[in-house]
Amino acid sequence: DTGVSQNPRHKITKRGQNVTFRCDPISEHNRLYWYRQTLGQGPEFLTYFQNEAQLEKSRLLSDRFSAERPKGSFSTLEIQRTEQGDSAMYLCASSLTGAHSPLHFGNGTRLTVT
């Protein structure tokens, strides 16, 4: 399977705990994106990497959120001191570098904060 892989698929945590998600993009894709999706809504942009450089962050990405992409390969998204409002599907996508390269999404990590 050469698609975008995300782990874990589901995560249940208690409020105040830290969680970390992993995304493995398609190997030849230089760009990597994180989105968040809540029920009934479209995905919301969180952040974007070109290789290992984090080039953009949304206002949605509070200081409790941090993302990394060491060596320009896999990426991690960490949420510290989780809140119930963080409950959502976290989606990772990757793409080639072209201006109009389509996004290839993984199947997401469903986070539930109790």
Residues that bind another protein (CB under 8 A): 4, 31, 33, 35, 40-45, 48, 50, 55-56, 58, 89, 91-93, 95, 98-108, 110
Shorter beta-carbon distance to another protein: residue 20 or 58 = 58
Minimum distance between the CB of residue 20 and another protein, rounded to whole angstroms?
Answer: 19
- Of 75, 69, 81, which is closest to residue 109 (Cα–Cα)? 75
Shorter beta-carbon distance to another protein: residue 44 or 80 = 44
Tokens found for residue 63: 């200081």
Shorter beta-carbon distance to another protein: residue 42 or 70 = 42
Burial track 37-56 (b if 16+ CB lie within 10 A, e otherwise): eeeeeebeebbbbeeeebee
Minimum distance between the CB of residue 56 and another protein, rounded to whole angstroms?
Answer: 5
DSSP conformation class of 30: -
